[in-house]
A and B are shown apart, each in its own frame.
Chain A
Amino acid sequence: MTRYSIFSLLRNAMGYHQDWQQAWRSPDPKQEYDVVIVGGGGHGLATAYYLAKEHGITNVAVLEKGWLGGGNTGRNTTIIRSNYLWDESAGLYEKSLQLFEGLSQDINYNIMLSQRGVLNLAHNLHDVRETRRRVNANKLNGIDSEYIGPEQIRELVPIINLDPNIRYPVLGSSLQRRGGTARHDAVAWGLARAADARGVDIIQNCEVTGFDISDGKITGVQTSRGAIKAKKVGVVVAGHCTVMSDMAGFRMPIESHPLQAMVSDPVKPVIDVVVMSGAVHCYVSQSDKGELVLGAGIDAHTSYSQRGSLHIIEEQIAAVCELFPLFSRMRLMRQWGGIVDTCPDASPIISKTPVDGLYFNCGWGTGGFKATPGSGWVFAHTIAKDEPHPLNSAFALDRFHSGRLIDEHGAAAVAH
């Protein structure tokens, strides 16, 4: 792998940039792998990368039915933060944020991490109390988090509407200064390149159509490019996880919903933090190109259609325009939808399954991007050691039997 640096850039500039090595190979699938990862999004690629890097398992294939990062990895609003309420979540999301902080250097690929600060707004007395509680919980877990009032919000976001007479007035906010955004495509491409460099086979346009299971143990997968044997299989397919669990013969507490996002036409820099509001359902940041990146809520109905209903966008834009009246005459350039796998407690499932050697990582719902490297890190450990890491042991499938749910509906920002 050519190392990216100022020198390789200069060297390739001499050759008119014609000689750059491909970022990853596209090999044909081998007959057999030690580990097959189903799903070539950020989480799957991170899993493959950490399997190779942390556990020395390099005979790994990542199977992707479409193209790399073409699902939710390329469709999210790129927000990163770790200010979750419960200890279990704090450990997992904070691990992920820490990995994000060193990821560009680690994988030699600029993921354009921008720790610009994330605000989660409070609009009524209950919101204020709940936000303060969450900030305190974050601090107890060693996560940077602070509560700020309207005056400090005005300093950070001069364009926000702080009129106390609007329908949902802004009364306060939490602020995580280490939170921010990263370039989502770069996360997928960088992890793919780094995994490939360590020997992982990345196989696109390869859809898994069935599992080979004998005596309760996985032996391989059936795909659109033939059968592939595998000692272990990790499934990280977001919205399609119940399609996979149906093939494997067990049930999941997951429902798949459309979640929409959109960008405006590009404008001069106007907002340099991320503003989120779970109560009125909007989140706003500005991309490096100048577009406002806006996220909506989920559609209530289950769907696999990767497109949501217009009235959801209408509600979202109404909220944006009330919070930021100067956006009201801007135009939307693009809008799109992805299929998110929502769990009853708004927390993920990173777990062994009733089938030996088959592991599932799913249920990230509306907020998986922020967890990309952390999710891959703990899932790689779970697969390599055949037991969960302490950071993800609480996120097992059997928590729905024991009742030890991890309710993060408050911190999840997008209600579901």
Chain B
Amino acid sequence: MFLITCPFCGEREESEFSYGHEAHIKRPENPESLSDAEWADYLFMRKNTKGPHLERWVHTAGCRRWFNVARNTHTNEILAIYRMGEQPPKEIKAMIDEKAKS
């Protein structure tokens, strides 16, 4: 059990929220022009990062609004919380880029 700070309601227990899996997956603009492999990549393939991971949560038992969370999947430490449509903070992006290089 961990605590999540809803950007609209404040800090609540994890059990009030539902998980929305990996964030920033863009629906392809021209699905009909995609190959089967490209479509499978969009539909099924996931980062499943061990470490800093960008994901979506929804405050199901509260305001019922969606938001993005950067969480370390190894320690469950929440690194940043930012609204839908926004990009993650720069330091989180740097952390993820560094992880991808190693």
- Report whether chain A binds chain B: yes
A401-B37, A402-B36 known; A304+B50 contact, CB < 8 A? yes
Q: At the interface, is chain B mostly helix, strand, loop or mixed?
A: mixed
A243 CB within 8 Å of chain B:
yes
A301, A311, A400: the one contacting B19 at CB < 8 Å is A301
User: CB distance A302 to B48 under 8 Å?
Assistant: yes
User: Of B1, B47, B55, B75, which one neighbours A309 at CB under 8 angstroms?
Assistant: B1
The answer to the question of B41 belonging to the interface, with a C-beta cut-off of 8 Å to chain A, is yes
Segment touching B, from A85-93, A252-260, A261-269: A252-260
Please tell me if the beta carbons of A311 and B15 are within 8 angstroms of each other in the complex.
Answer: yes
In this complex, what residue of A is CB-closest to B13? A311
Interface size on A, residues (CB 8 A): 23
Contact of A253 among B15, B18, B37, B44 (CB under 8 A): B44
Q: A255-B21, A311-B15 are in contact. Are A400 and B44 (CB under 8 A)?
A: yes
Binding site for A on B (CB under 8 A): 1-2, 13-15, 18-19, 21, 36-37, 40-41, 43-50, 53, 55, 71, 73-76
Top 8 A-B pairs, shortest CB-CB distance: A253-B44, A251-B45, A300-B19, A242-B48, A311-B15, A309-B1, A400-B40, A401-B36
**Are the C-beta atoms of B55 and A301 separated by less than 8 Å?**
yes
With beta carbons under 8 angstroms apart, the residue of A240, A243, A252, A310 that contacts B45 is A252
Cα distance A310–B76 when bound, in Å? 14
Is the pair A304, B74 in contact by a Cβ cutoff of 8 Å?
Answer: yes
In the bound complex, CA of A167 to CA of B49 (Å): 39
Task: From known contacts A311-B1, A311-B14, A401-B37, infer whether A305 and B44 are also in contact, taking CB-CB under 8 Å.
Answer: no
Name the A residues within 8 Å of B45 (CB-CB).
251-253, 400
Residues from chain A with Cβ under 8 Å of B75 in the complex: 305
- Cβ-defined contact, A300 with B18, below 8 A: yes
Asked if A305 and B48 make an inter-chain contact with CB atoms under 8 angstroms apart, the answer reads no
- B74 contacts across to A, CB distance below 8 A: 303-305
